[in-house]
DNA sequence: TTTTCTTGCTAACGAACGTTAGCAATGGTA
DNA sequence: TACCATTGCTAACGTTCGTTAGCAAGAAAA
């Protein structure tokens, strides 16, 4: 097979991602997935070992992308912290919007991973969140960010970002870069009218 | 039966809420639910008509609570808009934290409602979000809130709030009122250091 | 006392589930 | 040409699913 841009395995991952997002992992049957691919249920197992393996790949691939983006965004530590934070926010939004379906699965379906994958996944997520938290802590300590409770603030910050896959649709009015910019502004400046 | 504080039906709803939150609606079996209640699977059907009926009650009960809270918070239209918004935020957080499990189900499991309930639910949610959006629009028009794109801002605002059930645990360091206050501050003032 | 409501049981139904075994066609590679 | 990886099929497996029928015990209501 030369014509296909994606290997059959990648097609399976992609189609499964869309279905997992729309119906949830548990409510998506292998027969539904097969139908969406235009083949029979048993045929899928020529390419994968189990249903959960698909979920595993989706979740950990996204985790890799979030980490790589964050590293890239924050590696220049001569930048003001607010700028690093802005870059990290933009990177997060970029990963989210590059594959909304996969992001939604990453955010909501990881609980259906069985051990030990589930624990590994949660450790990665915690590590990633710690990166944001540390940015806010550094900013608060050096007086460049206003964050009386950096741990709390980082939760709220990631919350605003992670809700994005529930409403973002590619090709909409706002491009991903616009969204990232507005989100960063709103989170940094707030809704209150500025006096100065 | 006189001794029970909750009717058996309410016990079923409550136990199901916890399980639906932890495992998801589709991945929770009636036999699991029965075991958690200390009875047999078939016995549940002396009290309910179907599994989905439980989900339906949970989702629409929460919707009622969100609406009631919002009405109460915003009925006084002599208040400055920022104050109304703050009160609406506090109400939302109060409903979320009063029953975290039910809130998580409300936020994530409604997709497993079948038609027409699913459409009805989404209409209610949209109506509720429109309430917040209108507050921001009014605030922006009267110059009391800084929101260049009120629709976008209201999405971000609700995002920050709705992520709460993923990490909030009753009895933690922060009381619900504290959380509401901090959230409102962070959303209104932002993370940037204020010059004035 | 008779009736009715609540609560629960056992046993089973048909359907759907994830997965496997065994076989076959195709097309690139040696 | 011979080989082999890819891809797919049919048929079936054992399990679990939501749900129902029929029956029964106890408490409350008439």
Residue A18 maps to a domain: no
Burial class of residue A116 in the structure, from the number of CB atoms within 10 Å of its CB (0-12 exposed, 13-18 middle, 19+ buried): exposed
Least confident range of A6-10, A12-16, A56-60: A6-10
Q: Is the CB of B32 under 7 A from strand D?
A: yes
Residue A40 maps to a domain: no
Q: Give the rounded percent of residues in chain A with a pLDDT score beyond 70.
A: 93
* Per-residue pLDDT at A155: 87
Q: How near does any CA of chain B get to the CA of A7, in Å? A: 30
Number of domain units in chain B: 1
Contact A174, B156 (CB under 8 A): no
Q: Is the CB of A146 under 7 A from strand C?
A: no
Q: How near does any CA of chain B get to the CA of A2, in Å? A: 39
Least confident range of A35-49, B77-91, B129-143, B168-182: B168-182
Over the stretch A38-49, which tens digit does the pLDDT of each residue have? 998 989 999 999
Average pLDDT over residues A89-109: 95
The residues near A167 (Cβ < 8 Å, ≥ 6 apart) are: B155
Q: How near does any CA of chain B get to the CA of A40, in Å? A: 23
Per the DSSP assignment, residues forming a β-bridge with B99 are none
pTM: 0.88
Residue A111 maps to a domain: yes
For residue B43, give the nucleotide whose C1' atom is nearest its CA.
C8
pLDDT at B195 over 70: no
Chain C bases having any atom below 7 Å from a protein CB:
6-12, 16-22, 27-28
The mean predicted confidence, pLDDT, of chain B is 89
Greater pLDDT, B145 or A92: A92
What's the 3-state SS for A102-159? HHHHHHHCHHHCCCCHHHHHHHHHHHHHHHHHHHHHHHHHCCCECCCCHHHHHHHHHH
Residue B105 maps to a domain: yes
For residue A34, give the nucleotide whose C1' atom is nearest its CA.
D8
CA dist A168 → A71, A97, A176, B7, B124 (Å): 25, 8, 9, 42, 20
Least confident range of A15-19, A138-142, B36-40, B95-99: A138-142
pLDDT at B196 over 80: no
Over the stretch A139-164, which tens digit does the pLDDT of each residue have? 888 888 887 888 888 888 898 899 99
Residue B39 maps to a domain: no
Q: Which residues constitute the domain of residue B180?
A: 52-190
* Per-residue pLDDT at A113: 97
Q: Is the CB of A5 under 7 A from strand D?
A: no
* Per-residue pLDDT at A150: 86
Terminal C-alpha separation, chain B: 64
pLDDT at B191 over 70: no
pLDDT at A18 over 90: yes
* Distance measured from the CA of protein residue B114 to the C1' of nucleotide C20, in angstroms: 33
Q: Which residues in chain A have Cβ-Cβ distances shorter than 8 Å to B148?
A: 182
Token output for A177: 């870069």
Residue A126 maps to a domain: yes
Chain D bases having any atom below 7 Å from a protein CB:
6-12, 16-22, 27-28
Q: Is the CB of A141 under 7 A from strand D?
A: no
Q: How confident is the model at residue B75 (pLDDT cuts 50, 70, 90)?
A: very high
Q: Do A196 and B192 touch (CB under 8 A)?
A: no
* Per-residue pLDDT at A5: 67
Q: Which residues in chain B have Cβ-Cβ distances shorter than 8 Å to A167?
A: 155
Residue A29 maps to a domain: no
Residue A181 maps to a domain: yes
* Per-residue pLDDT at A192: 54
pLDDT at A1 over 80: no
CATH of the domain at A78: 1.10.357.10
* Gap between the Cα atoms of B88 and B130, Å rounded: 13
* Per-residue pLDDT at A153: 85
Tokens 């083949």 sit on residue = A39
Over the stretch B16-48, which tens digit does the pLDDT of each residue have? 999 999 999 999 999 999 999 999 898 999 999
């Amino acid at each position: 097979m030369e014509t296909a841009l994606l290997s059959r395995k990648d097609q399976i991952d992609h189609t499964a991602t869309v279905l997992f997002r729309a119906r949830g992992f548990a409510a998506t049957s292998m027969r539904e997935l097969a139908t969406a691919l235009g083949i029979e249920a048993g045929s899928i197992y020529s390419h994968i070992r189990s249903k959960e393996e698909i979920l595993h790949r989706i979740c950990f691939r996204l985790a890799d992308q979030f980490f790589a983006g964050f590293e890239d965004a924050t590696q220049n530590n001569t930048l003001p912290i607010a700028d690093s934070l802005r870059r990290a926010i933009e990177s997060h939004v970029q990963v989210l919007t590059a594959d909304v379906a996969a992001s939604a699965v990453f955010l909501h379906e990881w609980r259906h991973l069985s051990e030990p994958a589930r624990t590994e996944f949660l450790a990665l997520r915690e590590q990633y969140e710690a990166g944001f938290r540390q940015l806010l802590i550094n900013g608060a300590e050096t007086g460049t960010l206003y964050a009386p409770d950096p741990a709390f603030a980082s939760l709220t910050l990631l919350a605003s970002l992670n809700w994005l896959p529930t409403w973002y649709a590619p090709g909409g009015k706002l491009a991903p870069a616009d969204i990232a910019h507005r989100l960063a502004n709103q989170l940094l400046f707030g809704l209150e009218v500025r006096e100065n």
